[in-house]
Amino acid sequence: MTRTPAAAPRASLSRAKAVWRTLRRLPPTARIGALILLFWAITVLTVHLWPIADPLAMVGRRLQPPSPDHWLGTDALGRDVFARTLRGAVWSIPIATVVVACAVALGSVLGALSGFYGGWTDSIVMRLVDVTLAFPPILLAMAVAAMLGPGLANASIAMVIVWWPIYARLMRAQVLEVREREHVEAAVAGGARGLRVLRVHILPLCWTPTLINATMDFGQVILLAASLSFIGLGATPPAPEWGSMISEGATRFYEWWIAFGPGMAILSVVLATSFLGDGLRDLFDRRSG
Amino acid sequence: MTAPLLDLRDLRIEFQNADGVRAEALRGVDLSVNPGEVLGIVGESGSGKSIAMMAFLQLLPKGARVTGSAKFRGEELIGMAPARIRRIRGKAIGCIFQDPLSAFNPVLRIGDQIAEAIRLHDRTVSRRAALKEAVDLFEMVAIPQPERRVHQYPHEFSGGMRQRAMIAMALANRPELVIADEPTTALDVTVQAQILDLLADLRRDLGIGLVMITHDLGVVAGIADRIAVMYGGRIVERGPTDAIFYDTAHPYTAGLIGAVPTIDGGGQLRQIDGTPPSIFGRPPGCSFHPRCPRAAAPCRTDDPDLRPAGGSRCACHFPLVPAGAAG
Amino acid sequence: MLAYILRRLIMIPFLLLGVASVSFLLSQMTKGDPLAALVPERMMSNPDIVNAVKAQWGLDQPLPVRYVIYLGNLVQGDLGTSFSTRRPVATDIAERLPATLELVVAAMIIGTVMGLALGLLSARFRGTLFDSVARIFALIGSSLPIFWSGLILLYLFSVRISFVPGTGRLPPRVTAPPDVTGFYTVDALIAGNIPLFLQALSHLALPAFVLGWAVTGVITRLVRSSLIEGLSLDYARTARAKGAPERTVLVKHALPNAMIPLLTILGFTFAYLITGAVLTEAIFSWPGIGSYAVRAAASLDYPAIGGVTIVGSVAFLLANLLTDIAYAWANPRIKVH
C-alpha cells in the first residue's frame, strides 16, 4: 500500500484532529498542569511589559518582609523579590526548553541511527549511553560545568550531556519495534532504501514516548538547572535566575521570603510537568502505566 | 424433597462501562444445587456463567449491581455483610479457578497459601499444624512427595499438579459446596482427564456439592447430575444430564453437542457459526437468533421463557422436542 | 538470572573504565590546559610544584601515555591533591564519606518507610480524601528543589520553633564518638553514650527527612500502583475466595508482590539520593562529600570534583548491582534457576 502525495496533508489534518480529540479527554490535573505552563510561557514572552518593579534596581529598604508594596518582600540588596521571581522565568524556562530540545535532538538522532543500523553504530552509541548513565546525574553535570567554567551556557551543555542518553534509549527501542512492522517491510520490498526508510516510514511513528518523557523531564531540567545555579555553576548574580535567588537566601535563615518566591515558582513548574506528563502518558502510551 | 444447598432466584447483574452505559450481564437466573449433587453450567465466554457464581460470593469488582436472591443453606447471600460472607467463603464454599498459575500468589509457598486458607477460619490452628494439614490435603489429591511439595512455589509445579494443589486448597476446610470455574481449561488433554477423575472421586468420597463451570459440554458429560446451558446472560436449557444429551431441546445446546468430538475422534466436529453477543450489544428478542438455524419472526422480537420441553426446560420458540413431552 | 547478575558483574569493570576515561577526558579539557586541573592558579609560579605534578601525572608525555598514567594513579587510589585543602583528595573523601553514608542510609530508611506506608494506605483507601492528600504530599516531596525545602524546613523547625537543632552533625564544641563505623548515631550507641546519641540523632533527623521526602514520591507512587494492580489480579481473587478480608489481601498478598518492582527502583532512587545529598549537605553544613563537592565546584577545585565524581559513580554502580542481586533474591521465580 502506498500513499499518494496528495493524500498526505489531508491525512495529517485528520490526524491532528484525532490528537485534539484525545487531548480533550485529559484529566483535570493535567489541564491544570497545562494552564500553569501556559501562564509561565506568557510570562516569559510579556513580562517586560508588566507594571512590576525593575528586578535589578534597589526599590526599597533591604530585607523587608512581605508587604502590600513588596508582595514577597525585598532581598539583601533591597530588590523586589516578587518582580525578580517573575523575571526569573525569562531565564529558567528558556534554558530548560533549550536543554530539553537539544537532549531530545541529540539523543533521538543517535538512538534512531543506533536502532536502525545496529552493528557497530549500535554498540558504540549504547556503550556511550551506558557510561554516561553510570554517573550520578548531578555529579556529572557538576564535573562538566566546572571543567567548562561557570556560566549558564556551560551549565546547559552539561545538562544536555546528562540527559541525551535517556532519549537515545527511548528512540532506539521505538525504532527497533517499528522497524519490524509490516508497512516498513512493504516499503523496503517496494524499493525504499536506507535513511529514507528511517525518515519516512519509521520515525513518524516513534515520537510519542519521547514527547511524553520530554514533558516530564522539563520540570526535572528546571530542578537541575536551579541546583547548578545554587551551587554557583549556573547563572551568575545579579541575574534573577531561580536557583541563584534561592542561593542568595540560603544563608539568611531569618529572611525566609527571599527564597520563598523562586522555590514556589520551581515547584509550580515541576508539578505542572508531572501532572501534564502523567495525563499524556495515560492517554497516548497504552503500554506503560 | 430435601432443601437445596444453593438456591438462586432471579439473579441479575448490571455493569456500567467507562462511558456510563449500563448493561445487564445476567438477566434473571434460577438455579439450585442439592447437597452432594454435581451441577454443570455450560456456555461460551460472556454467557454469564462465571460471574453468576462470583456474584453471590461478592467477588465481583465494584460497580457491578447484583439483585435477586441467592440462598445458601437457607441463608440469603445477596447483600450479606462482608464480615459474615467472609466466614462462608473458603469455609463452607470452596473455589477452584481456571488458571492455577495466576490464581496462586507467585511469591508465597503453596503450603503457606493452603495453611492460610485454614487459619483464616480457625485462629486456634498453629501455622505448623496448618502446614501438616496441607500435607494431608496434598496426599488426598494425590500429589507425590507432599512434605517437600508444600515448601515449593507455584512456578515449581506442573500445570496438573498446580490444579491439584488448587483443589486441595478449595477442600481445606471441608466445604459443603465447591465451585470449579473452568478447572481443566488451562491443562493438557491427558491431565484434564486426570483432574476430572480426581474431582469425581472426591465428590463421591466427601459428598460435597459441586458446580462445574465450563465451555465444554464434554467436560461435564461424565460427572454432572444436571446441566444448565447459558447464553447471553440467561439459562436457555436446564435439565438432567441424560435429557440434555439425548433429548436436546434447544438449538444452541444441539450446536454445543455437535461441537463435542466423539470418542473415536472420527465424529463430526461442527462449529456454531458466528460469535456470542457482547453484553453491550445484545440483539432484541432471543439473543441466540442471529446464529440460530431455526430462527423465525417471533425470535427477533420476543425473548422466550424457560418452559418444559422434553425431559428438561428450554427457552426457545421452536424447541427440537415437543413442549411438555415425556423424556 | 544468575547469568544476568554475572553479566552485570562483568560489565562493571568496563563501566568503571568508561567512567575513568570520561573523567580523564574532562580533566584534559579544562581550560585547554590539563595542568590547570592539577595545580592551583596561585602555585603556577612555583616551578618545583609544577614540575613535581608534571612528573607525577606525565604531563610532558603524549596523551595516550598520560591516560595510562592517569589510570595507574587511579588504581593506586591517587585522585590528585585538592587545591583548597592541599591534601590528597582520596584522604579528604575517605574522611567525609561516613557522614554522607549516614545521611543517605537514614534518608533511604525514612523514604522507604514513608513511601511504603503512604502507598499502602492510599491503595487501601483509594479514591478517598486521604488518598489524594497522601499522593500530593509524596508528589510535592519529589518536585521541590531540595535545597529550598531544606531551607524552609530549617527555618520552620529550627529557627521558629527550635524543634530540632541547626546545622552540622553535632552541636559546636561537642566531641564526636570514638570512630567505629563513622556513623555518629551508631558510634555513640556503641560507646554507650545515650545523650550523645540523641544529639547526633536530632541533628540527623531534619536533613534525613528532607532527603527521604524527596524519594518518598517515587516509592509511594510505585507501591500504590503495584498494590492496586495486585488487588485486581487472580491471586487476590483467590485470597478473597478463601475468606481473607481486604486488609489481608492487601498486606499478605499484594504487598509481597509489590516488593519486587520496589527493589528494582531502589537503584534508581539512589541516583536521586546522591543528587539530593549533595544539595542537602550544602544547606545543612553536613560535613560529607556532597558539601565537599559543592565547595570544590564553587572554587573550581578540579581534582576534588573529579574525585567525588569517580567515587560517586562507583557507589552508584555498586548500588545498582546490589539492587539486581536483591531482586534476584526476592523473586522466587528466579531463585531456583
pLDDT in tens, A154-212: 999 999 999 999 999 999 999 998 888 888 888 888 888 888 888 888 888 888 889 98
Q: How many angstroms separate the CA atoms of B219 and B196, rounded? A: 8
Angstroms from B91 CA to nearest CA on chain C: 7
Can you give the pLDDT at residue A11? 62
pLDDT surpasses 50 at A287: no
**Strand B307-309 relative to strand B65-72: parallel, antiparallel, unpaired?**
unpaired
> What is the CB-side half-sphere exposure of residue C18 using CA atoms within 13 A?
20
Tell me which chains share at least 3 CB pairs under 8 Å with chain A.
C
- Residue B201's nearest CA partner among B228, B171, B226 is B171
pTM, two decimal places? 0.84
What CATH number belongs to C96-330?
1.10.3720.10
Mean pLDDT of chain A: 86
With cut-offs at 50, 70 and 90, classify the pLDDT of residue B1. low
pLDDT at residue C32 in the model? 58
Is the confidence at residue B20, as pLDDT, over 80? no
The identity of residue B317, as a single letter, is H
Rg (CA), chain C: 24
Between positions 124 and 143 of A, the ones with CB within 8 A of C are: 127, 130-132, 134-140, 142-143
**Under a CB-based contact definition with an 8 Å cutoff, are residues C179 and C216 in contact?**
no
The answer, yes or no, to whether residue A281 has pLDDT greater than 60, is: yes
Residue B159 in this model has a pLDDT that exceeds 70: yes
Residues forming beta bridges with residue B95, ordered by sequence position: B179
Which residues touch C174 (CB under 8 Å, ≥6 apart)?
A: C196, C199
* Cβ distance of A259 and C151 shorter than 8 Å: yes
Task: Give me the amino acid identity at C21.
Answer: S
Residue-number span of the structural domain to which A91 is assigned = 29-284
Helix axes A207-231, A81-117, angle to 10 degrees: 130
Indicate whether B265 pLDDT > 70: no
* Confidence band of A248 (pLDDT split at 50, 70, 90): confident
CA B173, chain centre distance (Å): 20
pLDDT at B262 exceeding the cut of 70:
no
Closest-CA residue to B277 (of B23, B61, B29): B23
* Mean pLDDT split into 10-residue runs, chain C, 337 residues: 78 89 84 71 81 79 86 89 88 94 94 94 92 91 89 86 83 86 90 91 94 92 93 93 94 92 83 87 92 88 90 89 81 58
pLDDT on residue B125 = 93
All three cell numbers of A31, joined, read 489541564
The backbone region for B128, taken as left when phi is positive above 0, alpha when psi lies in -120 to 50, beta otherwise, is alpha
Burial category of B266 from C-beta neighbours within 10 Å (exposed 0-12, middle 13-18, buried 19 and up): exposed
Sign of the C-alpha dihedral, residues A13, A16, A21, A24?
Answer: negative
Q: Is the CB of C238 less than 8 angstroms away from the CB of B99?
A: no
From B90, B105, B153, residue closest to C243, measured CB to CB:
B90
Q: Note the pLDDT of residue A20.
A: 80
Angle at C297 between CA C292 and CA C302, to 5 degrees: 95
Task: Decide: helix, strand or coil at residue B228.
Answer: strand
Verify whether the Cβ–Cβ distance B117 to C331 is below 8 Å: no
Q: Residues 54..93 of B with a Cβ closer than 8 Å to C: which?
A: 57, 59, 61, 82-83, 86-91
Q: Quick one: average pLDDT of B157-183?
A: 93
- Do residues C325 and C332 touch, judged by C-beta distance below 8 A? no
Amino acid at A256: W
Q: How far is CA A53 from the centre of its chain?
A: 29
Looking at residue B236, what is its pLDDT? Answer: 93
Pairing of strands B234-240, B65-72: unpaired
Predicted pLDDT at A256: 83
Q: Which range has the worst mean pLDDT, A32-46, B204-218, B246-260?
A: B246-260
**Mind telling me how many Å the CA of B288 is from chain C's nearest CA?**
31
Chain C residues within 8 A of A260 when measuring between CB atoms: 152
Say yes or no for a CB contact (<8 Å) between A139 and C312: yes
Q: 500468589: which residue's cell?
A: B105
Between B98 and C226, residue with greater pLDDT: C226
Supply B57's cell numbers.
460470593
Helix (H) or strand (E) run with residue A137 in it:
helix A137-148
Per-residue model confidence (pLDDT) at position B326: 44
Nearest CA in chain A to C307: A143
Is the omega angle on the peptide bond into residue C287 within 30 degrees of 0, that is, cis? no
Instruction: Say if the Cβ atoms of C278 and A142 lie within 8 Å.
Output: yes
Grid cell in block for residue A155:
551549565
Q: Which of A128-132, B45-49, B106-110, B132-136 bottoms out in mean pLDDT, i.e. has the lowest?
A: B45-49
pLDDT band at A5 (very low <50, low <70, confident <90, very high): very low
Let me know: does C114 contact C218? Beta carbons within 8 Å.
Answer: no
Across chain B, mean pLDDT equals 87
Tell me the pLDDT tens digit for each residue of A93-124.
999 999 999 999 999 999 999 999 989 999 99
Examine residue A14 and state whether it is found in any structural domain, yes or no.
no
Range B85-108 average pLDDT: 91
Strand arrangement of the beta sheet that strand B75-76 belongs to: B22-33, B6-16, B65-72, B75-76
Domain residue ranges of chain B, discontinuous segments joined by +: 100-174
The pLDDT value recorded for residue A125 is 94
Let me know if residue A289 belongs to a domain: no
Q: Which helix (H) or strand (E) holds B69?
A: strand B65-72
Q: Model confidence at A148, in pLDDT bands (50, 70, 90)?
A: confident
| Angle, vertex CA C216, rays to CA C211 and CA C220, nearest 5 | 175
pLDDT, greater one: C61 or B243: B243
Chain C residue numbers touching B102 (CB-CB < 8 A):
233-235
- What is the pLDDT averaged over residues B216-233? 91
The CA–CA distances, whole Å, from A95 to A49, A139, A156, B51, C244 equal: 21, 20, 7, 56, 54
Per residue in A47-75, pLDDT (tens digit) is: 888 878 787 777 778 878 888 888 888 88
Predicted confidence (pLDDT) at residue B211 exceeds the cutoff of 80: yes
Question: Inter-chain contact B83–C245, Cβ cutoff 8 Å?
Answer: yes
Residues of A in contact with C297 (CB under 8 A): 142, 145-146, 231-233
| CATH number of the domain bearing residue A264 | 1.10.3720.10
Domain count for chain A, please give it.
Answer: 1
Q: What is the pLDDT at residue A251?
A: 78
| A18 in any annotated domain | no
Residue C67 to chain A, least CA–CA distance (Å) = 17
Q: Judge: B107–C256 Cβ closer than 8 Å, yes or no.
A: yes
Does residue A165 sit at the C interface (CB-CB below 8 Å)?
Answer: no
Report chain C residues whose CB lies below 8 A from the CB of A237. none
Whose grid coordinates read 477460619? B121
Portion of chain A with pLDDT greater than 70, in percent:
94
Q: What is the DSSP letter of B89?
A: B
Which of A32-41, B110-119, B264-273, C285-294 bottoms out in mean pLDDT, i.e. has the lowest? B264-273
User: Could you give the CA distance from residue C116 to residue C136 in angstroms, rounded to a whole number?
Assistant: 15
Residue B148's pLDDT is what? 94
Higher pLDDT, A285 or A33: A33
Q: Return the bridge partners of B313, or none.
A: B238, B308
pLDDT of residue B268: 45
- For B72, the enclosing helix (H) or strand (E) is strand B65-72
Which strands, in side-by-side order, build the sheet including B312-314?
Answer: B93-96, B177-181, B209-214, B38-42, B226-231, B234-240, B312-314, B307-309
C155 within 8 A of A253, measured Cβ to Cβ: yes
Structure-block grid coordinates of residue B201: 472421586
Q: Quick check: B115 contacting C, CB < 8 Å?
A: no
Decide if A165 contacts A128 (C-beta within 8 A): yes
Q: Which residue has the cell 471441608?
A: B174
